[in-house]
Structure 1
């Protein structure tokens, strides 16, 4: 896995993966950025939500569940550790739409967070990761 980061201007950068996918990164205006993209810490939270969502969608498909939509909200709290800060708590809220078996949804979430999602497994070393969910009918 390789990511290439190109400096655009000031603190504004663009990251590209081997497949050509692009993400813009930037710093806040407080530190001289343009706020023209995700901050690196925001990318970590996006990685948590995206990794877990990929797992859950795959699990629910295998269980032949009628998933119409999934929205994931990720909130993180940071604590200063001197020259840097790290996430101490991360909360993931899943909002499912479809005709879904609640027990299968719970199992898919737990499998993702406890077994499959490499991002949450990495961040749980410094962060308490919690979750909630809701299921909306069509």
Structure 2
């Protein structure tokens, strides 16, 4: 696996590119010279955790013949507070799944999420070394 990062301006606006040529932009706040032109790196960690789990959950649910009409994930993270320090790791990450579908089995959804967070998601497994990872979900039958 290889990611290439290129600086886009004379400050901290960067573009990352993977081996397939797919790109994403990263930036910092105005306080450090950024223009808010992309995700901040710590936001990318949260997005990666949510995306990784989403891929797992969809795959597991498909194997269980559960097909949500839609899936939305909200990921929140709380960072360690160290007085006088601007930079710190996450101490907790919460992943909330919002699924819609008329025939979704709550037990199967719960099991899929548990398997993802605690067994399959590489990002969650990496983050759990410094952060408490938790999850929740809701199911709506409305279209």
* TM-score normalised according to structure 1 size: 0.96
- 5+ residue gaps in structure 1? none
Equivalent in 111, 115, 127 of residue 123 of structure 1: 127
1:24-82 CA-to-partner distances (Å, cap 9, x unmatched) read 00001111100100000000000000000000000001111121111000000111455
Q: Which residue of 1 aligns with 2:21?
A: 20
Bigger shift: residues 95-104 or 72-81: 72-81
Q: 1:97 aligns with which of 90, 96, 100?
A: 100
**Structure 2 counterparts to residues 1-138 of structure 1, below 5 A:** 1-9=1-9, 10-80=11-81, 82=85, 84-98=87-101, 99-137=103-141, 138=143
- How many equivalent residue pairs? 138
> What whole-Å deviation, never above 9, does each CA across 1:82-122 have from its counterpart, x for those lacking one?
57300001111100011200000000000001110000000
- Give unpaired runs (5+ residues) of structure 2: none
In 2, Cα distance between equivalents of 1:61 and 1:136: 18
Please give the alpha-carbon distance, in whole angstroms, between the structure 2 residues aligned to 1:83 and 1:91: 22
Q: Which structure shows the bigger proportion of residues in strand conformation?
A: 1
